[in-house]
Amino acid sequence: MPSLTIKNVPDDLYSALKRSAEENHRSLNSQVIFSLNNTVLAKKVSPEERLKRVRSLRKDLGPQRFDADEIQAAIDEGRP
């Protein structure tokens, strides 16, 4: 299996990769491979396929109604 050396990785990117590896119980090397695989080899989904999936999920959820106060509360949630 080929090897790859990456030089001059920015500190913030290295820290983020290391944190992500720890959160996912992976080695740093495995996390980099996982991230590259999900980015470079990601399956391209057509807009039609994505829309079909969204419609299916909506159908499973049933009708949802939110009033203005609920919407505003959701917007405000997490704001300092």
Domain ranges of the chain: 47-76
Report the share of the chain in percent with pLDDT over 90: 65
User: Per-residue pLDDT averaged across 59-67, rounded?
Assistant: 81
| Pick from 13, 15, 17: nearest CA to 31 | 17
Whole-number Cα distances in Å, 14 to 11, 22, 80: 5, 12, 28
Comparison of pLDDT for 61 and 32, the residue scoring more: 32
Comparison of pLDDT for 31 and 1, the residue scoring more: 31
One-letter amino acid identity for 9? V
**Could you tell me if 18 and 28 are in contact, meaning their C-beta atoms sit under 8 angstroms apart?**
yes
